[in-house]
């Protein structure tokens, strides 16, 4: 019986891993060269990561100067706590590829940045990945419209694109 349980557990872990890979592969994100929607058919492994591009030409450009394009990638973890976002202010440069890992800690929360068409919901303790090209300069409010009893107002913060 123990052997069956171990085998079942092992298959479950492998199957869960494959589902995770498949889910990640469905949305390759944004091309680090042009900032357009990337394609699964245009990929290149570099530094232990696989990067996805919108065209074969972008793969070629990346291969020539990978650090030029990697320096434009800004990775941010944005935590939704009980009454606030951490951090409450995100600064990037125009042209940066912004990768946000949105995590809701205490309850179901959403992240909305209207100017970038971002509207993502996360359940408690769930992580969501968001990618976009910061192509508009300015200060943009990001917020969660969900208000629970006892909260004074909706949670908000600032995305500053310089």
Domains of the chain by start residue, with CATH: 1-71 (no CATH), 72-162 (2.60.40.420)
| Pick from 53, 71, 73, 50: nearest CA to 61 | 53
What is the per-residue pLDDT for 3?
Answer: 45
Residue with tokens 């085998």: 7
8 Å CB contact between 116 and 107: no
Whether the pLDDT of residue 136 is over 90: the answer is yes
> Does pTM surpass 0.85?
no
Kindly report, residue by residue over 92-114, the tens digit of the pLDDT: 999 999 999 999 987 889 999 99
According to DSSP, residue 95 is labeled T
Report the pLDDT value the prediction gives residue 145, as an integer from 0 to 100: 84
Say what the pLDDT of residue 151 is.
Answer: 59
pLDDT (tens digit per residue) in 73-90? 999 999 998 788 999 999
Q: What pLDDT does residue 138 have?
A: 97
């Amino acid at each position: 019986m123990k052997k069956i349980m171990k085998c079942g557990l092992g298959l479950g872990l492998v199957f869960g891993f494959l589902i995770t890979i498949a889910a990640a592969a469905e949305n390759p994100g944004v091309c680090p060269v042009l900032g357009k929607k990337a394609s699964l058919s245009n990929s290149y492994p570099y530094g232990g990561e696989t990067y996805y591009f919108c065209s074969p030409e972008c793969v070629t450009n990346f291969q020539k100067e990978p650090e030029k394009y990697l320096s434009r990638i800004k990775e941010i973890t944005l935590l939704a706590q009980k009454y606030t976002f951490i951090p409450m202010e995100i600064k990037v440069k125009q042209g940066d590829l912004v990768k946000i890992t949105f995590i809701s800690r205490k309850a179901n929360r959403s992240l909305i940045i209207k100017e970038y068409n971002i509207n993502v919901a996360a359940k408690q303790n769930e992580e969501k990945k968001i990618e976009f090209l910061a192509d508009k300069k300015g200060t943009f409010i990001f917020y969660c419209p969900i208000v629970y009893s006892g909260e004074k107002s909706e949670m908000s913060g600032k995305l500053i694109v310089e």
